[in-house]
Amino acid sequence: MKFSFKFVSLFFFVLSNISSSYAFIISQDVSKRMNINNNINLINNPKIGIVDFRNILKESLTMKKLGKEFLKLERELNNKIKKKEEILRNKELKLRSSKNKISNEKYVKEKNDLKKEITNLQKFAFSEKKELNISFQLIQKKLRDVLASIIKNISKEKNIDYVFLKENFFLINNFDLDLTNEALKKFDEETANLKIQFVKKKGK
């Protein structure tokens, strides 16, 4: 399936935000501290976990479903706008052809009315596209929050002290540390019913 530029841009916007927002998730324990000097001295025998956020988003059934939903909504909106544009183009052609058949006053009035309709359509297109993009960004934020919560809960269940992004590791010899598959499964289970909710419709 061919993704639109807007969806791809938004998708990678999510990935970049994940790297900065969730570089690591720490299970809080006031009895354990990190001492920072020239080198970071971790707590004695820390238990570490690793998660691949990029892979979760790539393989997630929820993200794939929402991606298709976004493209469908975008396509429907573009078709709606094109139909309105076609109507206005026909009105313009009709007005031009009748220029010499009607009074100048009537022609000027209809021309001004047409300009207003064109302006209103431009405002409508801008507003609807902006709403769609904001709505998609909101569901992405919700997904990030859900995923962060899932990772945190898994780390607590396994008594893990630190969870790091897999992309920050050069070499991993113990794949028992990898929480990605477990997090992916729970992520899809908890987000299966999520849909893109339009901002205006949600506020009604």
- DSSP, collapsed to helix, strand or coil, labels residue 42 as coil
pLDDT at 12 over 50: no
62-89 mean pLDDT: 95
Taking only the tens place, the pLDDT of each residue in 21-64 is: 443 443 333 233 334 333 444 445 788 888 888 889 888 999 99
Q: Are the beta carbons of 191 and 64 closer than 8 angstroms?
A: no
Taking only the tens place, the pLDDT of each residue in 187-199 is: 999 999 888 888 7
Q: Are the beta carbons of 34 and 43 closer than 8 angstroms?
A: yes
**pLDDT for the residue 83:** 96
Phi, psi of 35 (to 5 degrees): -100, 120
Taking only the tens place, the pLDDT of each residue in 80-121 is: 999 999 999 999 999 999 988 889 999 999 999 999 999 999
What is the pTM (predicted TM-score) of this model?
A: 0.67
